[in-house]
Chains A and B, each alone.
Chain A
Amino acid sequence: MSDTVKIYIDDKAYDVPAGMNLVDAAKMAGNDIPVFCYHPKMEPVGMCRMCLVEMGSIQKDRASGEVLLDDKGNPQIRWFPKLQTACTTNVSDGLVIRTNTPQVDQARENVVEFLLTSHPLDCPICDKGGECPLQNLTMEHGPGSSRMVYSDKLKLDKHVPLGDLIFLDEERCIQCARCIRFQDEIAGDDVLAFHERGRSLQIITNSDPGFDSYFSGNTADICPVGALTTADFRFGARPWELTEVPSICPHDAAGSNISLSMRLDRDHGGRAIIKRVMPRQNENVNEIWISDKTRFGHHFTRDEHSRLLCPLVRRGGNFNETEWKTALEYAANELQLAGGSVAAIAGSGMSNEDLWELRQLVTGLGGERLGAWPPTHAGADLVAQVGVGQGTNLGDLGKGDAVLIVASDLEEEVPIWRLRIKQAHDRGALVVVMNGRPTRMDDFASTVIHYDYSKAAGAFDLLQKEHGDTARQLTGAKNLVVIAGAEGVDLAGSRALMQAAANFLIESGHVGKPNNGLMATFPGANGMGQYYLGFTPEATQDIIANPPKVLFIAQADLLFDDPAAVSWLKQVETIIQLTLFAEEPVPGVTAALPIQSFAERDGSFVNGERRVQRFYTAQGPIGQALPAWQVLNRLGVQLGLGRSKLSASILMNEIAQSIPAFAGITYKALAHVEPQFPLVGGDDVYYGGTAYRNKGGLGVQIPAAADNGGAVTKGKVEKPAAIKASGGQLLVVPATRLYNRERVFRSSELVHPRVPDAYVAMNAADARKLGIENGDMVSISAGGSTLKVRAHVNGAAPQGAVILPRHLSDTPAPLAITAGEVSKA
């Protein structure tokens, strides 16, 4: 294949991929062409002129194609009369550039000087100082001194809030439009723009709320100056004081790779705390982007007011603080007395290592039931069967490929997947969205299909019967990825939907290869880990139906998630709770044991694409909290159920030996890195921005059963009876909001203004019938709870159903779709 071409940079020949951007090609050849406006993830615009080079092409004889030689026998080069911008050039055979001539040096110096004519040069108080493209390129290429009179510089506003999370310093902006283009091209929220022109040009946002995007923080990373800063890190620390610790976002199934920027902090007792969360490059997972929840949702890790600081045990009617030794002895004693009826419910924030120890303990005590929390999404076993093939990269999807998103509000559930699929759509992929209501994803869809919520579990029947053309387009696609959520279905419905999705993929042969297969928006960071370690939502249902004598509740907020929990938990005799937070104790809890957050310990999660990823210890422990696995291990030792274990990596070795999916996985394997394109995170921050180079590992993707030619067969779809509303009832459909009042997010005060007040979305026709107007308080009785929330009467809900976001008020919304009464409060 003639997929590479020969180009010459500073008289050396290089073979580079045909058609590649010249700046990228030079970068791969080790030549850093300075840029400001160019970014390897976006279309070039040629706005800043920093990338000027001498450019020419080798002359060939038109007839024979022979290279023409000069008198000395060297190839003849026809040079452009003027310097050209490298960023707007794609490489072609015989392209010759020079980047080290006096002319180029001069041009670079001139561009920097021009940019500095009205730049405040306030590096000593600038957040970007130390990792600033303008600072670095000025040092390298700029004139040593200024010809500008300082007082002639424009004096502009230095603290313009573009919304609650990002601040603009108007003086520093060099008008490269990277932020605007990111919002438009990559995030799809075009809420930034230039206003006015020439010397008066400024970045503005006119959205309500300002800078309304879940991805706004990324603009601060790629801004080549300190014009955009985050409310979180602003004036918080200098970049060179920070220690970077690789980690994984604890909030959703994407498993975004992050870097925790740590520094000792006076306000937190001299402890190392997270000063900021930054993206860490993993091109298969989150590229170099993270959502604002990932970036600004870390404060719970250090919040001593909300965290449980020491073990609590109940003696008589009282809850007492105590030492670990006493607490564990006490808990062990209670466990022994309670006898064999033991079960566990584990949240999706538990790491694989924690889940492993919990499993050992429960089975050691004679228990069998391992429940996954929340019990909303079924079908993790099907993701293990026909999940996206090894090597999948959503960034590869484009023309000829297709993505089907069903029963999910993807932007609210897994924003990074939404961002990446928006771009797949831009590259020409067919994106089909099926849900019972409009969602943001509709804006980036080729086809939108709305179904009646009562038929949500049968969405695939509907697709095949009533939208045959769309179904055929999907099955006929080169590659097909199905992303399923569980909106509008209960657990049985979710299973039916997942099975139908799996069958759809198997039937059309879209399994067992990269960029094909099933993904699901499991809540939390480790939904797939729960499955692989034996924790299932079906077991949770069984536990709820037949409560055991002894129940472990590990990192699961049952009372806040499920209105029914209060009543069934009463039937449990002994509850051992492992928790991050000093919440209201679960009624009847015997001992509440403090555990560490993801930032305080190491461990691993499995993301929705089955990628096992490792996070590292960043922060010192809060109070006496211990890693959950250690608490469980010590309890086991106390009960004579095994030996004490020293590290999470040893646990991973045990997991690898016992659980086939983890065969061969070690912490070392998870830490393996390979060069990725584009090369970011080096000293050349001007190229890719301040995303970090991946030094903590790219993770290992567990093969799906269908991978490597594995045989998979279709399963029977057992559709449950449709959930119907009768006699004046409406369907109450719980939905996910990214910004909510979950405990892990509550400490992130800077985002509070963006958390909506508790509301329910209603259709105008339903509202009229019930005498409800937009903005009225309404009361919703469903699934054993009554909530009072504000009615939003708009186009967000279909007739006959109301959309009730979960986790916005202290009273829990129902776990799954159900029929309920809605009335004016």
Chain B
Amino acid sequence: MSIHDKKYAERIAAQFAKYPTKRSAVMPLLYIAQEEYGWISPEAIQEVAELCNMDSTQVKSIAGFYTMYSEKPKGKYWLQVCTDLPCALRGADEFYEELKAYLEVEDGGTSRDGLFTVEHVMCLAACDKAPMLQCNFHFMENLDMDKMKAFIEEKRAEAKKHEE
């Protein structure tokens, strides 16, 4: 699979249409690539570089600068828990510890079933709804471990069903 596939052709064309030069579309294209591969793989960098007519070094540089791009393989669900001060005051720290323990992973690690990657991040601008996290860039707010466990088991069940 690759983002050259038909599946993405329209979206890529739509991005290019927005900017005066192809180069300017590099960030949206990196998002598309991350969607496809789950992370910014070396192939993804190569493909985006070719599409945007840039040297792949520059693309890698951009992927490295922004934390929204991951240059390491990720689980299907990328959970980024805010542990910044305001969230911490509402118990985000403990929440994060419990989440890691439940999934049996270290900070930045991926659960053994390969489904969940967890990491802590800086303020996501939802301090009033802490503890919160973003799962594949979608906010989940006012969390506690019960809600989380339910979410995790639901996704695990989904994955199992998919396998069968």
Contact = CB atoms under 8 A, between A and B. Distances in A.
Interface stretch (A201-209, A517-525, A532-540): A201-209
Interface stretch (B53-61, B74-82, B84-92): B53-61
Interface in A106-122: none
B65 interface: yes
The binding surface of chain A is classed by DSSP as loop
Interface stretch (A185-193, A420-428, A614-622, A700-708): A185-193
B45 interface: yes
A53 B59 CA distance: 36
B64 interface: yes
Interface residues of A, number: 13
A194 B62 CA distance: 9
Contact of A196 (B55, B56, B58, B64): B64
A195 interface: yes
Given A189-B55, A192-B57, A196-B64, 6 more contacts: A190-B57, A196-B65, A197-B65, A204-B60, A204-B61, A205-B57
A194 B65 contact: yes
A716 to B, nearest CB: 44
Contacts of A193: 57-58, 60-61
A194 B61 contact: yes
Given A190-B57, A192-B57, A206 B64 contact: no
Nearest to B59: A206
A190 B57 CA distance: 8
A204 B65 CA distance: 12
B60 A191 contact: no
Decide if the interface of chain B is mainly helix, strand, loop or mixed: helix
Nearest to A189: B55
Interface of B: 45, 55-61, 64-65
Contact of B56 (A189, A192, A207): A207
B59 to A, nearest CB: 8
A632 B55 CA distance: 52
Contacts of B57: 190-193, 204-207
A197 B60 CA distance: 13
Interface of A: 189-197, 204-207
Give the one of B45, B56, B57, B58 with max A CB within 10 A.
B57
Nearest to A190: B55
A196 B56 CA distance: 15
A190 B64 contact: no
B55 A195 contact: no
Contacts of B56: 206-207
Question: 5 closest Cβ contacts across the A-B interface?
Answer: A193-B61, A195-B64, A206-B57, A206-B56, A206-B60
A678 B55 CA distance: 31
B42 to A, nearest CB: 8
A767 B60 CA distance: 35
Contacts of A189: 55
Q: Which of B56, B59, B64, B65 has the most CB of A within 10 A?
A: B64
A191 B55 contact: yes
A67 B60 CA distance: 54
Contacts of B61: 193-195, 204
Contacts of B45: 206
Contacts of B65: 194-197
Nearest to A200: B64
14 contacts: A190-B57, A192-B57, A193-B58, A193-B60, A193-B61, A195-B60, A195-B61, A197-B64, A204-B60, A205-B57, A206-B59, A207-B55, A207-B56, A207-B57
Nearest to B63: A195
B129 to A, nearest CB: 28
Contacts of B64: 194-197, 204
Nearest to A195: B64
Given A197-B65, A206-B45, A190 B60 contact: no
Contacts of A191: 55, 57
A189 B55 CA distance: 8
A191 B61 CA distance: 10
